[in-house]
Amino acid sequence: MNTNPLLKGTLQTIILKLLESKDRMYGYEITQKVKEVSEGGIMLTEGALYPALHKLEADGFLETTVEIVDGRARKYYRLTEHGGKEVTSKLKEAQAFIDQLQNLLNLKPAIK
């Protein structure tokens, strides 16, 4: 699993958004969903994903339940109420950033 340096700063937002789009998800499922939606362009590394999930939980944005499925432990994450508000705010920030960055990248090249 290798990632994109551009990912920096957006991982938490991606996680929160996915958990807004689906009631509950577990870590591995998140990596697969991101891979699917980005058509392979964004691959989350476990070294980034799990610490990020733990931090979001420690911050009170996510809560967890563990289940054994097919003999393997799965840790399901779900948004807390606090997390629900955070999604809204993070999405607004991320959307503004995307728009501003897009404006910069759309500047016309100098004629030379």
| Interface positions with a second copy (CB under 8 A) | 4-10, 13-14, 17-18, 20-23, 34, 37-39, 41-42, 91, 93-98, 100-105, 107-110, 112
Amino acid at position 16, single letter: L
Per CB under 7 A, 20 contacts DNA: no
Pick one of 18, 19, 26, 61: the residue that binds DNA (CB under 7 A): 26
Long-range contacts of 64-70 (CB under 8 A, 24+ apart): 65/24
Cβ neighbors of 76 (< 8 A, separation 6 or more) are: 24, 25, 26, 64, 65, 66, 67
Q: Which region, judged by CB under 7 A, interacts with DNA, from 16-24, 70-78, 87-95, 100-108? A: 70-78
Q: Is the CB of 47 or the CB of 84 nearer to DNA?
A: 47
Phi, psi of 76 (to 5 degrees): -85, 135
Per CB under 7 A, 59 contacts DNA: no
Q: Which of 73, 81, 41, 44 is nearest to 65 (CA)?
A: 73
Report the interface residues with DNA, using CB under 7 A: 1-5, 7-12, 26-29, 32, 44-48, 50-54, 69-76
